[in-house]
A and B are shown apart, each in its own frame.
Chain A
Amino acid sequence: MTTTNPDLGALETDAPGPEPVSTSAHRALTSPWASIAAVVIAVLWTIPTLGLFITSFRPESDITSSGWWKIFTNPSFTMSNYDQVLHGSDTKLTTYFVNSIVITLPAVIIPISIATLAAYAFVWMKFPGRDLLFVAIFALQIVPIQVTLIPLLKLYVHPPLNLMPLAGPDAPGGGFYTLWLSHTIFALPLAIYLLHNFMSQIPGELIESARVDGAGHVQIFTRIMLPLMAPAIAAFGILQFLWVWNDLLVAITFGSPTTFPLTARLAELSGTRGNDWFLLSAGAFVSLVIPLIVFLSLQRYFVRGLLAGSVKG
């Protein structure tokens, strides 16, 4: 994950004959044994999900008394679990769905916007203390989210300098600001670090020639950097989307009942004393729909983005 990677260059020159590395790797990965192993792993990996999926259609008495594999000898299906998940509460599930979306979109867009700008500054602008600041941001990644909960909430409720309180009974915007802000705070160190590494691989000559042509920072950023960064931005976007969508801790700590996302409803699905736990499998699949759509539609960026920083361009 360093900006220059001499080892990898050495590997490439060591590759046998004129054959490029990619071809030999391709051949090694298409051997029948590798295919069998891949299939076996895929099947093993999918079985629990399949079991959960089947369970979500089984009646309550079956779920509580026997495993999902009994479905093959004693098939019985019902939609009542989904019915209860979707319509079982006094608050409509759509409200939680909308809340989840309202929380997630800004909580993805804000950190990405700030992080791309910050990454640009860290890579292409020279200012005193740049490396120190970068190391400090990088180091922030190791701060666990849990230790920040109480101090952060204190700041939101009783901000210094008589600023407007963001949480508490009179929270503005229904209390969404705290969630967007918190998710942004927690996402920024990793976002800046990832985008910085990606951006530093873009050849400096490109920037220099743009400078020679009279482009300033703004033009370089918008005309050259943003298009080149698209895969990395998309990859981080998916990561952050999944993280925020699946988040419960931040949502229930900083939010209020009016801002609760889908996960908060899911967590309460099993009832006060856990006696409705049979609903959880259906609930899991309901909450899975949106992340699945996002992931499938953006997965080519995800794969490309995962390689960001690993191979020199």
Chain B
Amino acid sequence: MRSRNTRRGVAFAAALASTGLILAGCASSDSGGGEAVSGTWPGEGKAECKDLSQLADFGDLSDKSISVYTSIVAPEDQPHIDSWKLFTTCTGATPEYEGSKEFEAQLQVRVQAGNPPDIAYVPQPGLLQTLVGTGKVVEAPSQVSDNADKWFGEDWKSYGSVDGTFYAAPLGANVKSFVWYSPKMFADNGWDIPQTWDDMLALSDKIAASGMKPWCAGIESGEATGWPATDWLEDVLLRSAGPDVYDQWVSHEIPFNDSAVATALDDVGGILKNDKYVNGGIGDVSSIATTAFQDGGLPILKGDCAMHRQASFYAANWPEGTDVSENGDVFAFYLPPMGDEFGNPVLGGGEFVAAFSDRPEVQAFQTYLSTDVWANEKAKASPAGGWVSANKGLDINNLASPIDKLSGEILQDPDAVFRFDGSDMMPGEVGAGSFWKEMTDWITGGSTKDALDNIESSWPS
């Protein structure tokens, strides 16, 4: 019996060892990146590639592929894929698209597990900082840095930098300082688009007097419930206290519950917590907290509500067949400033291209995405609209939808003072936690002071 067991043990060990050897034999020897540039680029002599001469630096990249991971899913993914065709023509390399709604969580899992994509479209500067903190993000090559200087404002470049090092070039953008309204309704009633904050309040009173609740809103968004209200506060703070105070507030140089912020939140409350103003076509003030943000502006179509403050991307929420244009069923106007002091503040967001590899094809792709050529290709590849970029080389006429054109004009306006969505830049505990939660409590009856004090105390030290 003894000897039989031993024999079995030996056989088992031998089987295990041989399996291991076979598997080890299969292991590919990792080349590890940083390969030398070779060959001439396939774009040489092609007319459509002449504006992309920067890509010649990376040589022949035929049969190489680049994995791209984004938070943008179907149907918005196809325009992205289409806009890369020129890159493949000029370099030979093929980017592989992968979009996921679990992007933020999954990207961190993949990075920590050592399986990052080559390129990720990071939608928040705060997340970019976290990723850079893992040490896996590769610094942008000089070509990308040059392009960012040339085509984007200094503010945009700084959002793609961490501690003074430039990592990620801006990609797309969206404008959040919009108020959606119905041009037809406004024309029928003889209402004008307000040019100042006071005009807007006067118009709200006028509409309220006619028996209609002028504003509608919804801040429910699953686990992110409350974020539309944070945008309200940021937009108003940018107007009442100016961009400098806003920057200090975002970077926590002044406390979260500073008196300027309290004033701004009270101004928001003047609209969102005013029984006479909200919640058109939906219910009372507290219904804001339970209405999905996707549905918050829909009463405008039924004529139950006149105005809805939401970003440019809300355009996709109107049911199919809605005419979104200057004289159509719905359109948006720029949320007016409170005074002349601070110019035209614009609150917005956008994505940034972070790379986890320095292989030539990855760097070539980063370069391509930072050019004006790509921005125009993307605009042409998006016939349904819903995309705009802060790239100064983007020709507004290439944008498909009227709302994108308006966004593009606002982003390229030299008087515009652009600021990135503050909650996306604050630490996660605040920007994706207490800020959302306390704003929801505030809508449902909490006081301004309690809300701001609670967020301040949750700021990580």
Contact = CB atoms under 8 A, between A and B. Distances in A.
Nearest to A149: B109
Interface residues of A, number: 39
Contacts of B294: 64, 273-275, 277
Interface stretch (A154-162, A186-194, A203-211): A154-162
B74 A90 contact: yes
A268 B99 contact: yes
B115 A168 contact: yes
Given A64-B295, A153-B110, A252-B100, A164 B24 contact: yes
Interface in B258-313: 292, 294-295, 298, 302, 313
Contacts of B97: 257
B320 interface: yes
Given A90-B77, A268-B74, A268-B100, A161 B24 contact: yes
Contact of B114 (A88, A157, A253, A273): A157
Q: How large is the interface on B (under 10, 10 to 19, 20 to 34, 35 or more residues)?
A: 35 or more
Given A164-B24, A275-B294, A154 B106 contact: no
B102 A274 contact: no
Nearest to B111: A150
B98 A271 contact: no
Contact of A150 (B100, B113, B222): B113
B424 to A, nearest CB: 14
B20 A90 contact: no
A187 to B, nearest CB: 21
Given A170-B28, A271-B75, A275-B317, A164 B113 contact: no
A163 B21 CA distance: 8
A88 B298 contact: no
B62 interface: no
B96 interface: yes
Contacts of B81: 90
Contacts of A247: none
A257 B102 contact: no
A238 B109 CA distance: 30
Nearest to B77: A90
B189 to A, nearest CB: 23
A89 interface: yes
A34 B222 CA distance: 39
A168 B110 CA distance: 10
Contacts of A89: 74-75
A272 B106 CA distance: 15
A119 interface: no
A60 B298 CA distance: 12
A164 B23 contact: yes
A282 to B, nearest CB: 15
A61 interface: yes
B67 interface: yes
A270 B74 CA distance: 9
B39 interface: no
A165 B75 contact: no
Contacts of B298: 64-65
Contact of B67 (A153, A157, A169, A273): A169
B73 A268 contact: yes
Interface string A261-276: 0001001101111110
Interface of A: 60-61, 64-65, 88-91, 149-150, 153-154, 156-158, 161-165, 167-170, 172, 252-253, 256-257, 264, 267-268, 270-275, 277
21 contacts: A60-B320, A65-B295, A65-B298, A88-B74, A89-B74, A90-B74, A153-B113, A154-B112, A163-B20, A170-B28, A256-B98, A257-B97, A271-B74, A271-B316, A272-B71, A272-B72, A272-B101, A274-B221, A274-B222, A274-B292, A275-B316
Given A257-B98, A277-B294, 16 more contacts: A64-B294, A88-B75, A153-B110, A153-B114, A153-B115, A154-B113, A164-B26, A168-B115, A257-B97, A267-B102, A271-B316, A272-B71, A272-B72, A272-B73, A273-B313, A277-B292
6 nearest A-B pairs in the assembled complex, by CB-CB distance: A153-B113, A268-B73, A164-B26, A157-B115, A275-B317, A257-B98
